[in-house]
Amino acid sequence: MKGNEALAEAAIQAGCRHFFGYPITPQTELAAYMSKRMPKIGGTYLQAESEIAAINMVLGAASAGVRAMTSSSSPGISLKGEGISYIAGSDLPALIINVQRGGPGLGGIQPSQADYWQATKALGHGDFQILVFAPSTVQEMVDLVSDAFDLADTYRMPAMILADGMLGQMMEPVEIRSNEHKKPIEKPWATTGHQNKRVHNVVNSLYLQPKDLERLVRERFARYEVIKQKEQRAEEYLTEDADLVLVAYGASSRVARSAVNKAREQGFKVGLVRPITLWPFPTDVLQKNAKTAKGFLCVEMSMGQMVDDVRLAVNGAVPVDFYGRTGGMIPSPAEILTKMKEILGGAQ
């Protein structure tokens, strides 16, 4: 199954029945799959007139307490930014999928990871965060879609799957399990009609009294602290005795893993930390590795964005280097190997 189709089916299996989208390469198969499946299972597939309309439809559906989602690729996600800020400001759960391509502007259509800053720091205006998951295989995309919906519901906030053109377009074996049998998370705040039996619910992001707004933002940030404590996820590969630890997520982590294997064959002690959550950033595992490693090498398909968070986590304990390709270029294991040797050679 293609990555994009797997994302779509996983969302359906997670109980999502409301998809609002707009086509854009390299994400379109996801929307196409939804357009075929949703009408057959009593769901809603709606191709909106624009990305902005689509994200506001997600806001509306989420207000009513249903699992709602949208998907796009980089330029389209920029358009959705305003709506995502509104969703975060209204404390609503929703899933947004970004199958990244090269930027800025219309950029290109080949795989990229240049939206890290956007996803983790600046999706829209205001003080807010969203959950960001970075799968590296088609199977993991499926598993994380389900987790993303669950955690979004639990913490009442938007969640994003940050994929890229490579993961969206590739096929790998995948097992999709239905998790609709899971007990749904209660949503007493949803605007589902009070029938004069309770006080009506309000979904809103407008607070004209600074005092009120500050209180709400502080409450939200208290929740973010809990998430930072409880929800960090990362995978470690051969890090135990590693002198140099690579840090890479998503598609570039697969290339990094191949490079680590090649370097190990040649006797170099290198390992890999692969962040699975980008927000909350897996600071703990990096700090742990900073005690034993002599240095880090961050590998990205961008000019260097996640490397900022790696440096913050490592906090100057050891040097943090960077290697990246951008514009839709994918680094090769050989290029990363050369960079690793350069660093390790310099350290000796």
Partner 1 sequence: MAKSKDLNMLLAGFGGQGVLFAGKVIAYGGLMDNKEISWLPSYGPEMRGGTANCSICISDEPIGSPLVLTPNVFVAMNLPSFDRFINDVEPGGIVVVDSTLINKKVERTDVQAFYIPASRLAEENGLKGGANIILIGKLFRECGFCSREALDKAIEKCVPVHKAHLMGNNKKALEIGMSYEG
Q: Compute the least distance from the CB of residue 1 to partner 1, in Å.
A: 10
User: Does residue 53 bind partner 1 (CB under 8 A)?
Assistant: no
Q: Which one of residues 261, 304, 317, 341 is an interface residue with partner 1 (CB under 8 A)?
A: 261
171 binds partner 1 (CB under 8 A): yes
193: phi > 0 → left, psi -120 to 50 → alpha, else beta; which?
left
User: Of 4 and 90, which has the nearer Cβ to partner 1?
Assistant: 4
Cβ atoms within 10 Å of 209's Cβ, excluding its own? 8
Letters for 120-149 (x = contact with partner 1 by CB under 8 A, - = none) are -----------------x------------
Which of 64-72, 122-130, 168-176, 319-327 is the region at the interface with partner 1 (rule: CB under 8 A)?
Answer: 168-176
Judged by CB, which is closer to partner 1: 28, or 283? 28
Select from 332, 342, 346, 347 the one that contacts partner 1 (CB under 8 A).
332
Helix count and strand count (H, E) for the chain: 12, 12
Instruction: Please say whether the beta carbons of 92 and 51 come within 8 A.
Output: no
Chain mean position to CA 216: 25
Instruction: Report whether 204 contacts 90 (CB < 8 A).
Output: yes
By CB under 8 A, residue 238 contacts partner 1? no
For residue 115, the minimal CB distance to partner 1 (Å) is 19
Of positions 26, 65, 158, 271, contacts partner 1 by CB under 8 A: 26
| Residue 25 is a binding residue for partner 1 (CB under 8 A) | yes
Where do the H-state alpha helices sit in 67-137? 74-89, 116-121
Cβ contacts of 129 within 8 Å, gap of 6 or more: 88, 120, 157, 224, 279
- My answer on whether omega of the bond before 275 falls inside 30° of 0, hence cis, is no
Q: Does 110 bind partner 1 (CB under 8 A)?
A: yes
Residue with tokens 């996983």: 10
Using rule CB under 8 A, residue 11 touches partner 1: no
Q: What is the largest CA-CA distance in the chain?
A: 75
| Binding-site ranges for partner 1 (CB under 8 A) | 25-26, 109-110, 137, 165-166, 169-173, 254-255, 257-258, 261, 330, 332-334
